[in-house]
Chains A and B, each alone.
Chain A
Amino acid sequence: MTKILGLGHSHIVAVAKGCYELQHERFQLGGAPLVSRFLYLYDPALTPTLDEESGASRLNPRLREIFDDERPDGVVLSVGGNEHIALSVTQPKERFDFILGSEPELELEPGAQVLTEAAVRETLREKMSPTLATIAAIRNETAAPIVCLEPPPPLPNSRILECPQEFFRKSFDSRKLSGEVFRYKMWRAQSALYREVCARADIFFAAVPAEFIEAPGVLADIARGADASHANALFGRRMIQTAAALVEPLLANGRR
């Protein structure tokens, strides 16, 4: 059997569901049936995720034990991933937008202050520092191939309006809601930071397949979960398949 260990926050749920579906179908990885275990990193038994006493560079001792016990052949991560939503679902009083360097043709919101992409990225980086540090710490814990799964793109505003309680404890002013193109750009900016940490730490990055992104940059209807920020098992299944394709050559060559 080929063991994978999945770790993450809320998006890991859809991934786990998709993975289990594949296991039911006797999915093979590295020439052997896939088995998996998924850990939810907000589990009180596993928090704080980073061992703060050792300078925040090592995982929680319980997580380290799990790595030692499981000795996984591969690791999939869906750590964090909602930071872009938290930062972009509504606009501050003075609305802002930015030019996405990789897709500069995307529209800018009329009247919004245009910030630099670097300002957005560096702010995201600060907010994502626990996520990015966790990914780096996981890399330090295992020599197994690791795949970081790109979180799903934003869901459409209509979903947010259907489920505002997911984001707001009180009622909110829908006029403050950000545009979908803007939210898509924030997601892309977030993904750039994942890619950066992956490149530094020898971690594969599994991008969301294009067919799961529909205009103007939201999660495709077929991949949406039940709420306004998460994907479904189909998405998780496809991400596991993408991750498997990335690590398959290594596993086939005996790097376990």
Chain B
Amino acid sequence: MKTHPYSKRPDYALWRRAVADVAPGEIDPMVEAPFRLGVREKVATAGSCFAQHIGGYLKSSGCNYLVAEPPHAFISEQAAQALNYGLYTARYGNIYTSRQLLQLFERAYGRFAPVENHWREGDACVIDPFRPQIQPGGFNSARELDYDRERHFEAVRRAFETLDVFVFTLGLTELWRSREDGAAFPLCPGVAGGDYSPERHEFINLGVDDIVADMTAFVERLRAVNPGARVILTVSPVPLVATAEPRHVMMSTMYSKSALRVACDLLSRSLGHVAYFPSYEIVAGGYAPTDYFAPDRRSVTQAGVAHVMRVFERHFIKRNAAGEALRGALRALAPVRAAPPEDPVAAAMRLMCDEEALSLERVEAPSVAASQAEAEPAPQNESGEESAAQEPLANEPEREADPADPQNHRLVD
């Protein structure tokens, strides 16, 4: 029997054994990850909306998910969620393109300050052009935005300098930028703030070379401030919601995802500390026996996300007994922290009201008789309510008093 380069290929290299004969939900396009995450290694995430699933998984699975921009202790959990804290490692919102990611780094380190830095919406609302949906309702002034942004950049620097692994989900190639200085916007001006102007804004669609150049520059900069940093790249399977190219959105989606996928391949082959994880292939490859898209043909179903995360866990999470024990402890602690036994504000309210409730008993209300004697004749309306008005009203405060006084929308592509 003749031999040839395919005759001794492993199962994963052969379609029938790797795809056709594999049970639904078990297709695993990942062969071997170049590195794994230990339980103590800090993992940061960023990217387009699909990256939120990855961050959510890392948090819930007991990984050491890096939160570099936590809400201040004053901010309630519900408010923090509404204001998009915890969505990613820092409060940068969705980062759809390689250009945005590189730009974030440059801005955080003071190497680039876009000219179009604030979008004013009326007198009392300022939108951050680079995080247009981070704060529902916007900021109350440019000054407030500047304070928040300064703190955000501190957090971004802290994240880049302390993370062990950075998971970045590439989503789009199409973007709008300033003609003046090239500043890349996550959303076209006018969509969630700002005003679109063809004189000031232009559309570009990144090519493979652009993406590779952006990401190479980013990784170089990241490793300059954090030499041990490793990067996991993945491509979001979520299609474009709209295209600015003069063609069908499905064709633009195919181009964008293809360009991103090729760029990831080039990057992971050329940079030893960069790995690729096949989210796109699992969900949108079209080969899974199960349809992982919801009826809108954009949203990924829970089953699809679960499949992706199973594969991620299998290949990227380092497993050993000690690590599992620590992860288990972290998972177990999470709900305890989220449910304080008593709301301190409610307790404080009750405490403050105690004495005042007592004083209500000492208030002397005018007697009904006195009121009636002193009152002018009351006009009677058509429904005869005058008689009802004679009912005693002010004679019962003592009886009613008692001394025993005890909230996005989330960011989406």
Contact = CB atoms under 8 A, between A and B. Distances in A.
A49 to B, nearest CB: 12
Interface string A1-28: 1111100011111001100100110101
Given A28-B376, A33-B371, A256-B381, A20 B394 contact: yes
28 contacts: A13-B360, A17-B363, A20-B363, A26-B375, A33-B371, A35-B389, A36-B393, A37-B394, A40-B400, A44-B404, A82-B349, A86-B352, A104-B140, A104-B141, A113-B151, A115-B72, A118-B83, A118-B135, A119-B74, A122-B76, A122-B78, A122-B83, A123-B74, A123-B79, A127-B76, A127-B343, A229-B352, A254-B381
A120 B140 CA distance: 12
Nearest to B83: A119
A45 interface: yes
Contacts of A71: 385, 388
Contacts, number: 217
A243 B370 CA distance: 23
Contacts of B396: 37
B144 A117 contact: yes
Interface of B: 71-76, 78-80, 82-83, 124, 135-137, 139-141, 143-144, 147-148, 151, 343-346, 348-353, 355-357, 359-360, 363-366, 368, 370-372, 374-376, 378-379, 381-382, 385-386, 388-391, 393-397, 400-402, 404-407
A2 B379 CA distance: 9
A26 B373 CA distance: 10
B363 A85 contact: no
Given A3-B393, A118-B135, A32 B379 contact: yes
A216 interface: no
B407 to A, nearest CB: 5
A85 B352 contact: yes
Nearest to B79: A122
Nearest to A131: B349
B389 A2 contact: yes
Interface of A: 1-5, 9-13, 16-17, 20, 23-24, 26, 28, 31-33, 35-40, 42-47, 69-73, 80, 82-83, 85-87, 92-94, 96, 98-102, 104, 113-120, 122-123, 125-127, 129-130, 166-167, 169, 226-227, 229-230, 254, 256
Contact of A33 (B82, B348, B356, B378): B378
Contact of A1 (B74, B351, B375): B375
Contacts of A5: 393
Contacts of B371: 1, 23, 33, 35
A188 B382 CA distance: 42
Contact of B394 (A36, A46, A230): A36
A42 B388 CA distance: 27
B147 to A, nearest CB: 4
A40 B140 contact: no
A127 to B, nearest CB: 5
B323 to A, nearest CB: 32
A9 B139 CA distance: 33
Nearest to A46: B400
